[in-house]
Chains A and B, each alone.
Chain A
């Protein structure tokens, strides 16, 4: 019994603090270099558009995770703060004299302040309680402001929205932001600054207390902190960065409509953030990247991309609540033991087969969709680079067979994978 409480002198090593600043700065350095060279790898205009969209979504998802992951607040209306920040920036773009006096890279600060201002007002009553009350208020406010877009036409521009021209700003060291690539560097600079600031925020006393209030608001109160104020400050900070994301959207697309702040948009950012994983700082970054790829690349391939995204989301919530980041971090113990390699082959067998099964299933869904929705007489469809007649039996038989075999093999090899997983997570020499 007693040895359970005595400190173990051999564990002195774990008390060592990371004294050097090099290791914590490494991921940031790599990210900066990567963002710098990416446009030289993906040179197409469409690729840069996707990367711009991705960077904006990353900022927004990180801001959203200040609430969901760090603060334990589930918001169904966070697009409002990004949207309002964006609208404000388009209005500034249209204020000729004022806009001519400020360089474009400064504009996101105004968007941020606008998002922050609105978050201050809404947060003053919505952060009193977390949980269901907060979620419901966020939903209500989200609907309310989305409805305002057709009421307060002067600000939201009604159904068409409002548009502006980013190039009227004061030239920034001669750059007028006529080209996508210039906008790309503006957005990525803001991405790095925002991500770093949000990361640093999570290491401050207030950021730590946001976690404490998330875990146990009552305990936090008995430590001298008002849970409500802690939530309020997180909410306001999150509103600022959401506003920055909205401003960058305005810079990138030069148009904002009701779609940018409605509940669909709020739902999508929740989806992207959760998919990436709320438990780790880098989770929302992964989520935003994957989500943007699905939204832009997969949506070109199939009209049903939302359907697949929905399935992935439900599966994530049910089986991998840690999201992508959680899945990755799950492998750290095996990596520490140096046995990660033992998972390679079993993974390939099970997941490979599972992927084949998924492709087969997707084929069935696509064929059904084609059968029901293609114009009359249009029997020919193309799937996975194969063109065939969706009204004949053969493709159906093939698709069903592929699905069954894929999932069947995945299921048959699953025990071997579980075995390999246990092995990889057990130190050698431990009796089992």
Chain B
């Protein structure tokens, strides 16, 4: 299986502190890969390194075999990787529809276009409306995104993340702060909208992780101590010792 995303000896230090201490990971095309680990293990940092938010200190990141070193977020996005954020990250003053439409612009070839009217493009409008249908926000279409409920904003962010047609989708704690029913809803949504794509997610909720992922990596103190199928990871004694034991018992 060819890898969609490869990390090779990836390291990141902030000053003297080494947060990511040599991560090797290969995520196959079409895989749903969850990264779990205790608080402070470096999961979000790892995400930020992959998506170009921070530069890495050492090692390499390859997306479809291409090195991402020194690439800005917008360049990485154009290569087919899209992400959501741990803290909801949308365009609050624009309408829900416009949020989605903006996320379609680049992939539909509009780029820095200043000679055509966005309202005139049927493809753009239909595309955005289709996404809204998928994330069930059609009824909220013309409201400012900032007034949506928390769960709706998370759904919108997932819509924005997938709209551009990226084939590697990275979600940072998509269900953080949600109630049970909201979590079930978002998990279903993620499953539907990422069909046929590679999904990488950081998640704390073990129910979500074991329900959604077909591969799991456990990150502890900046190192991956285990990678494998949910069953294999669950059975791994090192994992149980470091982290999973208590979380699993709670489940």
Q: Which residues of A contact B (CB under 8 A)?
A: 1-2, 4-8, 11, 14-15, 17, 200-201, 203-209, 211-212, 214-216, 218-227, 229-230, 233, 237
Of chain A, the residue at the smallest CB distance from B146 is A215
Pick the residue among A7, A218, A223 that contacts B106 (CB under 8 A): A223
Which of B89, B118, B129, B141 counts the most chain A CB atoms within 10 A?
A: B118
| Contact across chains for B139 and A206 when beta carbons are under 8 A apart | no
Of chain A, the residue at the smallest CB distance from B81 is A222
| Contact across chains for A7 and B114 when beta carbons are under 8 A apart | no
Determine the chain A residues whose CB is within 8 A of the CB of B94 once the complex forms.
Answer: 211-212, 215
| Contact across chains for A218 and B89 when beta carbons are under 8 A apart | yes
| Contact across chains for A14 and B164 when beta carbons are under 8 A apart | no
Determine the chain A residues whose CB is within 8 A of the CB of B83 once the complex forms.
Answer: 222
| Contact across chains for A206 and B112 when beta carbons are under 8 A apart | yes
Determine the chain A residues whose CB is within 8 A of the CB of B194 once the complex forms.
Answer: none
Determine the chain A residues whose CB is within 8 A of the CB of B77 once the complex forms.
Answer: 221-224
| Contact across chains for A226 and B149 when beta carbons are under 8 A apart | no
Of chain B, the residue at the smallest CB distance from A233 is B112
Of chain B, the residue at the smallest CB distance from A10 is B139
Of chain A, the residue at the smallest CB distance from B99 is A212
Of chain A, the residue at the smallest CB distance from B137 is A5
Name the interface residues of B100-143: CB closer than 8 Å to any CB of A.
101-103, 105-107, 110-119, 125, 129, 133, 136-139, 141-142
Q: With an 8 A cutoff between CB atoms, is B73 at the interface?
A: yes
| Contact across chains for A1 and B101 when beta carbons are under 8 A apart | no
Q: Which residues of B contact A (CB under 8 A)?
A: 51, 53, 72-74, 77-78, 82-83, 85, 89-94, 98, 101-103, 105-107, 110-119, 125, 129, 133, 136-139, 141-142, 149, 151-152, 155, 160, 164, 179, 181-182, 185
- Assembly CA distance A203 to B98 (angstroms): 11
Question: What is the interface of chain A mostly: helix, strand, loop, or mixed?
Answer: helix
Determine the chain A residues whose CB is within 8 A of the CB of B149 once the complex forms.
Answer: 4
Pick the residue among A17, A214, A223 that contacts B103 (CB under 8 A): A223
| Contact across chains for B136 and A5 when beta carbons are under 8 A apart | yes
* Least Cβ–Cβ distance between A99 and chain B, in angstroms: 31
| Contact across chains for B92 and A2 when beta carbons are under 8 A apart | no
Question: Are A205 and B139 CB-contacts (below 8 A) given A211-B91, A222-B77, A223-B105?
Answer: no
* Least Cβ–Cβ distance between A36 and chain B, in angstroms: 27
| Contact across chains for B106 and A5 when beta carbons are under 8 A apart | no
Of chain B, the residue at the smallest CB distance from A218 is B89
Determine the chain A residues whose CB is within 8 A of the CB of B151 once the complex forms.
Answer: 4
Determine the chain B residues whose CB is within 8 A of the CB of A233 once the complex forms.
Answer: 112, 114
| Contact across chains for B78 and A224 when beta carbons are under 8 A apart | yes
| Contact across chains for A7 and B138 when beta carbons are under 8 A apart | yes
Determine the chain B residues whose CB is within 8 A of the CB of A225 once the complex forms.
Answer: 74, 105-106, 112
Which of A2, A201, A212 counts the most chain B CB atoms within 10 A?
A: A212
Question: Are A208 and B102 CB-contacts (below 8 A) given A215-B94, A216-B90, A223-B164?
Answer: yes
| Contact across chains for A219 and B142 when beta carbons are under 8 A apart | no
| Contact across chains for A205 and B137 when beta carbons are under 8 A apart | no
22 A-B interface contacts by CB (under 8 A)? A1-B181, A4-B151, A5-B137, A5-B152, A5-B185, A17-B119, A204-B113, A204-B117, A205-B110, A206-B112, A208-B98, A208-B101, A208-B102, A208-B118, A209-B102, A211-B93, A216-B92, A221-B72, A223-B164, A225-B74, A227-B74, A230-B112
| Contact across chains for B116 and A5 when beta carbons are under 8 A apart | no
| Contact across chains for A222 and B82 when beta carbons are under 8 A apart | yes
Pick the residue among B51, B117, B182 that contacts A203 (CB under 8 A): B117
Pick the residue among A14, A203, A207, A212 that contacts B142 (CB under 8 A): A14
Of chain A, the residue at the smallest CB distance from B125 is A17
- Assembly CA distance A229 to B77 (angstroms): 15
- Assembly CA distance A203 to B101 (angstroms): 12
Determine the chain B residues whose CB is within 8 A of the CB of A15 once the complex forms.
Answer: 129, 138, 141
| Contact across chains for A205 and B111 when beta carbons are under 8 A apart | yes
- Assembly CA distance A5 to B134 (angstroms): 11
Determine the chain A residues whose CB is within 8 A of the CB of B105 once the complex forms.
Answer: 205, 208-209, 223-225
Determine the chain B residues whose CB is within 8 A of the CB of A223 once the complex forms.
Answer: 74, 77, 82, 102-103, 105-106, 160, 164
Of chain B, the residue at the smallest CB distance from A210 is B114
- Assembly CA distance A14 to B138 (angstroms): 10
Determine the chain A residues whose CB is within 8 A of the CB of B182 once the complex forms.
Answer: 1
- Assembly CA distance A225 to B179 (angstroms): 34
| Contact across chains for A205 and B160 when beta carbons are under 8 A apart | no
| Contact across chains for A229 and B112 when beta carbons are under 8 A apart | yes
| Contact across chains for A205 and B93 when beta carbons are under 8 A apart | no
Kindly list 10 other residue pairs between chains A and B, CB separation below 8 angstroms, not including A15-B138, A205-B105, A216-B92.
A1-B179, A200-B117, A205-B112, A209-B112, A214-B93, A216-B90, A218-B73, A221-B73, A225-B105, A237-B114
| Contact across chains for B138 and A205 when beta carbons are under 8 A apart | no
